[in-house]
Amino acid sequence: MLIYTIYLTIGWAVFALLYHTLLARETFFGLNRRYLCATLAGGLLLPWCGMRWPYINWTMGSEQVQNNILLPEFSTKIGQWTSTSEQFLLGQSCFGWIWMLGIIIGIIRFIYGLSTIIGTARRAPEQQGNIIFSDTIDMPFSFFQWIFIPANYRNEPQLDMIIRHEQAHCSGWHSMDILFSELVAIFFWWHPLAYWYKRALRVVHEFIADQSVTQYFSRKQYGLLLIKQAQSGPVFAYANHFLQSPLKQRLSMLTKHNSAPVRSLRYALVMPFAVLLFLLFQQNTAFAQLKLGNKGGKVYDTPDKMAEFSEGGAPGLSKFLAENIQYPPAARKENAEGLVVISFVVNKSGNVEDIKSVKPMRQDLIDEAIRVVKNTKWIPASNGGKVVKSKMTLPIKFKLG
């Protein structure tokens, strides 16, 4: 999940930067809406597809491998053993519970917001088609095909402009975008880019609706209405409100000349960026393809199900190392410390082979680490439902005192 979150952040950040620098000031509001919706969804899907989609091996005769599975670092001291894996697992668990708590709170708020809008519609004393007049709201808004108007707006001389604005939201099904972005923000409530997308979509919705109104009314007259409505009461969540985005920004777009059609070619940039991100997110890239001399078939570095220490997973491995590693006497006498990084392959039988150190270090520390790792027993990895070899990396820190 951590890798997915990192890739998700990279994807959203690239698309958001592209939008902010090249597209946000264009008057292609419909294209901007499609871009934001597509890249919001694409940011969610590209990391998953890139991590799962098999990479084409362009090198004939080479075997497909991926970046090694890196086990949490273990640290040993004389008379004491501590494992960062236990801290890592505890941190992961705490973060998972906090994440889930935020999602639950978000879902409760989401349901409450929807029920408030539905309740307002049911309790409204007057309804004309899809237009609902209510004395419980302070400003106009729309939700799917409902248009809500404050009861005291019945005699508003510019009511036609307000209704035209909200009808643009209804006919464009902008509420679908809002619900989608809201659900994304609920499940990624801690991610600032989720809220950026939600706000950017709402702003574009207002530009689209404003543009629709100015096809029937003068821009000056409509701009004066926006200024008049600037001081509004509280708003409902998950609805398109008449005054949603910053007033200055909307007035600026009202007076802006339409972008030249040729500038719409900028949207074509999304495809090469999406392809580049997809290739970046693939874990089994051409740079990771190596010819391995291991007999017995392909060695996987990120199989569907990674190998697991047979006696209790990571905590069991921590215990096993604590009971079996002995600090080399010569290293202890010379106060030698350091990090030994051991690479090994877990074969289909769960035994380890091809054990070696991948980082220069004192030989006696390396020998001790290899000796203990050689005696470990694993539940082998599986890929596509079949037992496979897998390559692992285990850092072990030798420390005195």
Both tokens of 8, joined, read: 């998700």
Q: How far apart are CA 260 and CA 253, in angstroms?
A: 15
* Nearest residue to 11 via CA among 37, 40, 33, 36: 40
What's the pLDDT score for residue 47?
A: 83
- Helix, strand, coil % (nearest 5) of the chain? 50, 15, 30
CA–CA distances in Å: residue 269 to residues 24, 26, 50, 130, 204: 14, 15, 19, 40, 20
Which residue(s) pair with 83 in the sheet?
74
DSSP assignment of 202-271: HHHHHHHHHHHHTTTS-HHHHHHHHHHTTS-----TTSEETT-S-HHHHHHHHTSPPPPGGGGGGGGGHH
Of 214, 113, 228, 137, the residue nearest 168 (C-alpha): 214
- Ramachandran quadrant class, 376 (left: phi over 0; alpha: psi -120 to 50; beta: rest): beta
- Residue at token pair 């001399």: 293
The pair of structure tokens assigned to 242 is 């008449």
Outline where DSSP puts E strands in 28-181: 69-70, 74-77, 80-83, 126-128, 131-134, 141-143, 146-150
Domain assignments of the chain as residue spans, ordered by start: 2-59+102-281, 71-86+292-398
Pure H helices in 53-136: 84-123
In the structure encoding, which two tokens stand for residue 291, read together? 């010819």
CB 84 within 8 A of CB 70: no
What's the CA gap between 281 and 279, in Å, rounded?
5
Around 208, how many Cα atoms within 13 Å sit in the side-chain half-sphere? 24
> For the segment 162-211, what is each residue's pLDDT rounded down to a tens digit?
999 999 999 999 999 999 999 999 999 999 999 999 999 999 999 999 99
pTM for the structure as a whole: 0.65
CATH: 3.30.360.10, 3.30.2420.10, 2.60.410.10, 2.40.110.10. Which one for 71-86+292-398? 3.30.2420.10
Distance CA 281, CA 392 (A): 21
User: Which runs of consecutive H residues, i.e. helices, occur in 255-401?
Assistant: 270-281, 313-324, 329-333, 363-374
How much is the pLDDT for 83? Answer: 47
Whole-number Å distance between alpha carbons of 330 and 120: 79
What token pair was written down for 240? 């398109």
pLDDT score, position 167:
96
What is the predicted pLDDT for the residue at 211? 93
* Cα separation, 302 vs 75, whole angstroms: 25
Task: Spell out, as residue ranges, where the chain has pLDDT lower than 50.
Answer: 54-67, 78-83, 85, 284-295
3-state secondary structure of 206: helix
CB 181 within 8 A of CB 198: yes
Q: Over the range 136-148, which residues count as b (16 or more CB within 10 Å of their CB) and which as e?
A: ebebbbbbbebbb
pLDDT value, residue 304: 83
pLDDT of residue 75: 65
Task: Please compute Rg for the chain using Cα positions.
Answer: 30
Question: Phi/psi zone of residue 309: left (φ > 0), alpha (ψ -120 to 50 degrees), beta?
Answer: beta
User: Taken in order 134, 137, 140, 141, is the CA torsion positive or negative?
Assistant: negative
At 182 the pLDDT is 96
- pLDDT, tens digit, 9 for 90 and up, residues 116-129: 999 999 998 888 89
| pLDDT for 79 | 43
- Tell me the two tokens of residue 91: 């941190």
With beta carbons less than 8 A apart as the criterion, state whether 337 and 400 touch.
yes
Measured CA to CA, the distance from residue 119 to residue 137 in angstroms comes to 12
